[in-house]
Homo-oligomer: A and B are copies of this chain.
């Protein structure tokens, strides 16, 4: 049942994502993915030792492409001041999560379930996001918009203080009509705390 094409990691993840979307995370096995790729089970088990490893890798790529990359652009390419950049970064994070919860609900549900397992991959993803926030804070301190603050600690505090608006466990609450107003109030509170 094997074919001759070399299997790249991207090929495997494409097939895995396709199968996960079709059957759902609970019903997808490594064997199902091997079947789609027309390779032996053994070949695929060399890449993914378990169903959990498969889900984790697909979720990691999805998070990278859909959450981290657009926020990296905001971090590196925004021209306005640090305060506007910080707000845009948070708005981008919050609105991406909110639209994926609705428009890409299969992948969002898998991401939510992987997050609950609190694996290292999620910790690393969050650390990368907090690293981006830290760069924006650093810029704002340099321009004098923000006061002298502990950059890494404050970046993490801002991420944690906005959990309600971007952590997948709160997805149901994002449907509330007052959610934007609630975020605006938390933003005002935080901005007041960091402004010089």
Contact = CB atoms under 8 A, between A and B. Distances in A.
Interface of A: 116, 118, 153-154, 156-158, 160-164, 167, 169-170, 172-173, 176, 182, 185-186, 188-194
A125 to B, nearest CB: 14
Given A156-B185, A157-B189, A192-B192, 8 more contacts: A154-B189, A157-B186, A160-B185, A161-B189, A167-B169, A169-B170, A189-B190, A189-B193
Contacts of A116: 172
Contacts of A118: 172-173, 176
Nearest to A179: B160
A186 B176 CA distance: 24
A185 B192 CA distance: 15
